[in-house]
Amino acid sequence: MNGPSHSKNNKALYIRFNKCFMQARWLFTLMILTATIPAFAQTLAVNGLTCEYQRNPVGIDIMRPRFSWKLTSSQRNTMQTAYELRVGSSAEALAQGKDLVYQTGKVSSDRSTFVEYEGPQLRSRMRYFWQVRVWDDHGNTSAWSPVNYWEMALLDAADWTAKWIGTPNPADTVNGPSPLFRTTFNLSKPVRSARLYITSHGVYECFINGRRVGNDHFTPGWTSYKNRLQYQTYDVTTLLTSGTNATGAVLGDGWYRGQLEKWKNIYGKELALLYQLEITHTDGSKTTINSDGKWKTSEGAIRSSSFYDGEVYDTRFEKKGWDLSTYNDKAWRPVKMMAADQSKLIAPVGPPVKKHEVFHPAKLIITPQKDTVIDFGQNLVGWVTLKMKGRPNQIIKLEHAEVLDKAGNFYTLNLRGAKCQNKFVLKGDAERTYEPHFTYQGFRYVRIKGYGGKVDTSKIRAVALYSDMAPTGTLVTSNPLLNQLQHNIQWGQKGNFVDVPTDCPQRDERLGWTGDAQAFSRTAAYNMNVNGFFSKWLKDLSIDQREDGAVPWTIPNMMPKTSAGVAGWSDVSTIVPWNMYLVYGDKRLLEQQYASMKAWVGYIQSVSVDNLWNTGFQFGDWCFYSPSPTDDSGKAAVTDKTLIAEAFYAHSTQIMIDAARVLGKDDDVKRYSDLLKEIKKAFMKEYVTPNGRTVSSTQTAYLLALQFDLLPEDQRQQLADRLVKNISDYGNHLTTGFLGTPYLCHVLTRFGHDDIAYTLLLQDTYPSWLYPVKKGATTIWERWDGIKANGDLQDPSMNSFNHYSYGAIGDWMYRVMAGINTDDVRTGYKRITIAPHPGGNLKMVNAQLETGYGQVSSKWTLNGDVMNLTVTVPVNTTALIVLPKAAQVAVTEGDRPVKEVDAIRDIKKDGQDLKLEVGSGTYNLKYNMARSMAGM
């Protein structure tokens, strides 16, 4: 009776179900489409994780390490609004969110650089794992980042159980054979992990079971050894084996006792080793192998080693297999136990020296003097490797030089007392590769002696060595000479950033001269990541600073007779910390150096009379232009040294005001502000006439007065006009030395003279930046005319062809020509300025810079009056794009007027320039400068 009705109801129910199912399926499909497509377009990800400037560092002793990360997003105008960071003791547990050591929870902040660890106290030797996720202002949440880690070093002197060991040889055997140290030990249990903590007096290479430990060179690096000695931490788990193991090390004089300038044994007379190998077995038990009285020592094939003179390697003295367990060391002597203070041991902050580029010979030359010379095509710093099978007792000598003389012969006079040669004494065994260990040379050319027969260039290589700083900047233009200049600037930096910022890498000097470092520091930060490099060096500056605040001329200070600080050199103590803060936003570095900065300005105050620093020795504007050694024409650009000193006194005081403001030291802000007013009054009274003329009518005098704002506002333009007139009087040439050159083009641009700045930049006759380029330079020269127009060479007593100071023009090329600059308030490129200044008949400039937030790029091209500008702004930053001579109505991105571009936050006119406030993303802007000007 109910059957038909039931069937009808079922059918209706089926129809409704089917309809709902189809609707649900389409709804589900639509949800998938709307979910996947926008999700793909709105991907937010975290990458580029670092801890204390490094990726997965092993062996740090910073108790509150800082974390940084970068974001990627395919949406424009993306800012981080919050982050969550968590730390665990194992990677597996951390990935699951379990057993956490520390977690922040969701923190509302746009900060993604130098986020401090604030968890429980960190423990020696522990490896910690961390990851982060973020939220953005579009409502997106990233996935957790990949797991990264850092590992703590030995945090207390009591953690050291190893003893210092040396040789029983007489002390003061500088340039003698390198000592070998070895021991054996047995491992009966499987190894889970092993860490080696090692350092030396001198420089070392270490081996375990015949394999080299790590790929660092010249370890432990150069510090103020009497106060700080770095040690390295290596993960050597894979180098150990079951049963009997052997380990050992070889030492060289290095900076510890080797010759530096005229001195040797500066830090001590005896080489020594400290070695602590800690092994954790799979069952949790531990074994420690220490340097102690059980070790043995002997001499090996390195018969002498010196940074200045080179190395002698005699294969006849090799102890084959000395670092293997099977070696018979019965003839070796017991080591000498040494006394040393473990409290001075520190973990490294800066990057180690490593091998980098490898160069093949560019040309084989037989000189007029019949020498066999290899041209590697690049002035570089490192050494030459040689692969060959030699005759018994054959001696191969490799001599190094930067240039050939006018006649085309090998030239070494400018090396002064440095021999710069490596010798290999062969014993006629199988073909092998020979290379030095504890030396390096600055060279382009290598003279080979003793080879015998035709040189096989296919088996000879040059290897570049320098501190392992990540490349950050590239800059290319439409002018090949400028591109070569940029190349030379970068290679000047590579060759002189060998653990410390040296003045030159070839002659008997190679010291951490402070004047060169301060002049170049801002340029250095465009080319490479130098935050860790300078952080390490500045700590030594603070330690070697005198009690009265005077800063030595070289850091580490190995000139004990240095009597006082000098302008422009000692000001490195304020200039470099401030530059690093601007570029990286590293407030802790500023805090670390603040006491040193104050002490330096306090020293100047103590030696000044009526706020005038006009006493004591000064270097002045080193290597300024002079037409001849005896200048009878009066054209030498001699700047009053006390004027320079007063200008830098004002500059360092201004930096103190800025640093105090950043650090919230209000009393110091007032104190230094009052002091600066008095310094400027003293400068005006002593060095400026009532008509606004400086007592020295030189480019450097004008530049320093303008760059450091020493004149009243209403007198500055006329001084800038005097500068332009001076440049014209010298035939559109610069005449500045080390202290004036960094500011030259910046001041011209600031006062509306871009045309003159470009004229100087593109000048190719002496003195100029491009003159050395046209002479074939591949690095920056110490003198504007290291090679004279007629081919003669300058005075060899001071004529380095790799001396980076004049490369400070690179800062202007990046910051003004390409237009990439950071902000003085939101530092570290959190807020970016992109303000290119086209000129100099250039058709294109393309620059990229890897910042703490990601890559910034600025590329402009000119086609007639039409300018195309392509800008990339990293996620979690904003940028102010300044378009020269632009009107809003004329600027487009593609076919759209600029005012319709979604990520442009604000548009405003500022004189002839148009300013666009934008968020992250890539922008392709185009406008006609002539029409823009006509429409104004």
Joined together, the tokens standing for residue 339 give: 């006394």
Q: How far apart are the first and last CA of the chain?
A: 93
Q: In whole angstroms, give the CA distance from residue 578 to residue 582.
A: 6
Query: Does residue 13 register a pLDDT over 80?
Result: no
Residue 107 and residue 123 in contact, taking contact as beta carbons nearer than 8 Å? no
- The model's pLDDT over 562-613, given as tens digits with 9 standing for 90+, comes to 668 999 999 999 999 999 999 999 999 999 999 999 999 999 999 999 999 9
404 within 8 A of 367, measured Cβ to Cβ:
yes
Residues 205, 509, 850, 893: which is the catalytic one? 509
Please say if the pLDDT value at position 16 is more than 50: no
Assess whether pLDDT exceeds 50 at residue 672: yes
Helix (H, G, I), strand (E, B) or coil at 727: helix
Contact indicator for 565, 549 with CB cutoff of 8 Å? yes
What is the domain class of 820-934 according to CATH?
A: mainly beta
Q: Give the least confident one: 174-183, 209-218, 621-630, 829-838.
A: 621-630
Domain 44-152, CATH among 3.40.50.300, 2.40.160.40, 2.60.40.10, 1.10.1060.10: 2.60.40.10
- Catalytic status, residue 782: yes
Distances (CA, A) of 247 to 154, 244, 296, 364, 439: 21, 10, 11, 41, 23
CA distance 612 to 213: 55
pLDDT at 21 over 70: no
pLDDT value at residue 934 = 62
pLDDT at 894: 86
Domain extent listing, the chain: 1-41, 44-152, 157-346, 353-467, 473-818, 820-934
Q: Are 334 and 356 in contact (CB under 8 A)?
A: no
Q: What is the pLDDT of residues 773-799, one digit of tens each?
A: 999 999 999 999 999 999 999 999 999
Which of 205, 278, 782, 850 does the annotation list as catalytic? 782
> How many of the other CB atoms lie within 10 Å of CB of 842?
18
Which stretch of DSSP H or E encloses residue 600?
A: helix 587-607
Query: 207 is written with which tokens?
Result: 């081996």
In the structure encoding, which two tokens stand for residue 556, read together? 């580490």
Residue showing tokens 């320093």? 704
The reply to whether 353-467 shares the fold of 157-346 is: yes
pLDDT value of residue 32: 33
Q: If you search the block for the tokens 């890539």, which residue do you land on?
A: 922
Instruction: Please give the Cα distance from 553 to 517 (Å, whole number).
Output: 11
User: Above 80 in pLDDT, residue 34?
Assistant: no
DSSP string for 604-653: HHHH-BTTB---S----STT---SSSS--SS-S-PPPHHHHHHHHHHHHH
Split at pLDDT 50, 70, 90, the class of 889 is: confident
The yes/no answer on whether domain 157-346 falls in CATH 3.40.720.10 is no
Mean pLDDT of the chain: 93
Question: Does residue 343 have a pLDDT over 90?
Answer: no
Q: Is 509 a catalytic residue?
A: yes
Residue 707, SS3 per DSSP: helix
Contact of 814 with 749, CB cutoff 8 Å: no
DSSP helix/strand/coil, 4: helix
pLDDT at 23: 43
How many CB atoms are located within 10 Å of the residue 732 CB? 15
% the chain with pLDDT above 70:
94
Q: What whole-number distance in Å separates Cα of residue 321 and Cα of residue 302? A: 15
In 188-285, the DSSP E strands lie at: 191-201, 203-208, 211-212, 229-230, 232-235, 243-252, 272-281
Rg (C-alpha) for the chain, rounded Å, is: 31
Tokens (6 digits) for 916: 């666009």
Average pLDDT over residues 716-738: 97
For residue 530, how far is the Cα from the chain centroid? 3
Query: What digits encode the pLDDT tens for the residues 898-910?
Result: 888 888 999 999 8
* Cβ count within 10 A of residue 28: 10
The answer on pLDDT for 27 being more than 80 is: no
Residues constituting the chain? 936
Looking at residue 561, its pLDDT comes to 60
- pLDDT surpassing 60 at residue 850: yes
Class of domain 353-467: mainly beta
The C-alpha angle 532, 535, 539, rounded to 5 degrees, equals 145
Rounded Cα distance, 178 and 547, in Å: 37
Long-range contacts of 215-219 (CB under 8 A, 24+ apart): 215/354, 215/355, 216/352, 216/353, 216/354, 217/352, 217/353, 217/354, 217/355, 217/465, 218/254, 218/353, 218/438, 218/440, 218/498, 218/499, 219/352
CA 456 and chain centroid, separation: 36
pLDDT for the residue 333: 97
Give the pLDDT band of residue 560 (cuts 50, 70, 90).
low
Residue 173: predicted pLDDT: 81
How far is 410 from 374, CA to CA, in rounded Å?
10
Distance CA 471, CA 143 (A): 28
> What is the per-residue pLDDT across 700-713, written as a single tens digit (0 to 9) for each?
999 999 999 999 99
Q: Which amino acid is at 824?
A: D
Q: At what angle do helices 641-662 and 666-687 cross, to 10 degrees?
A: 160
The number of beta carbons lying within 10 Å of the beta carbon of residue 316 is 12
CB contact set of 871 (below 8 Å; sequence gap of 6+): 834, 857, 858, 859, 879, 881, 918, 922, 923, 925
Sheet with strand 820-822: strands edge to edge: 820-822, 831-834, 878-883, 913-918, 904-910
Q: What is the 3-state secondary structure (H, E, C) of 512-555?
A: CEHHHHHHHHHHHHHHECCHHHHHHHHHHHHHHCCCCCCCCCEC
Tens digit of pLDDT for each residue in 377-394? 999 999 999 999 989 999
Q: What is the largest distance, in Å, between two alpha-carbon atoms of the chain? A: 132
Task: Check if the beta carbon of residue 736 is closer than 8 Å to that of residue 625.
Answer: yes
Q: Which residues pair with 463 in a beta bridge?
A: 358, 383
* Adjacent-strand bridge partners of 460: 386
3 state DSSP class of 311: strand
Q: Which long-range contacts (CB under 8 A, 24 or more apart) does 856-859 make?
A: 856/820, 856/829, 856/832, 858/818, 858/819, 858/820, 858/834
Tokens at 275, concatenated: 């070695």
The pLDDT of 835-842, averaged and rounded, is 97
Report yes or no: 301 and 321 within 8 Å, Cβ to Cβ.
no
Strand pairing class (232-235; 148-152): unpaired
Query: Which residues sit opposite 290 in a β-bridge?
Result: 276
Residues 6+ apart with CB under 8 A from 482: 761, 762, 770, 813, 842
Give CA–CA dist 186/275, Å, rounded.
17
* CA gap 568, 701 in Å, rounded: 13
Distance CA 88, CA 70 (A): 21
DSSP string, 901-917: -TTEEEEEEETTEEEEE
Class of domain 473-818: mainly alpha
Q: With a cut of 70, say whether residue 15 has pLDDT above it.
A: no
For residue 220, say if its preceding peptide bond is cis, omega within 30 degrees of 0.
Answer: yes
Segment among 15-24, 214-223, 631-640, 737-746 with least mean pLDDT? 15-24
The tens digit of pLDDT for each residue in 40-65 reads 445 899 999 999 999 999 999 999 99
Rounded mean pLDDT, 492-516: 97
**Is the pLDDT reported for residue 35 higher than 80?**
no
d(CA 799, CA 808): 18
DSSP H or E run through 721: helix 713-729
Distances (CA, A) of 615 to 79, 596, 612, 862: 53, 22, 9, 52
* pLDDT: which is higher, 196 or 95: 196
Phi/psi of residue 544, each to 5°? -85, -5
Q: Which residues are bridge partners to 872 per DSSP?
A: 857, 922
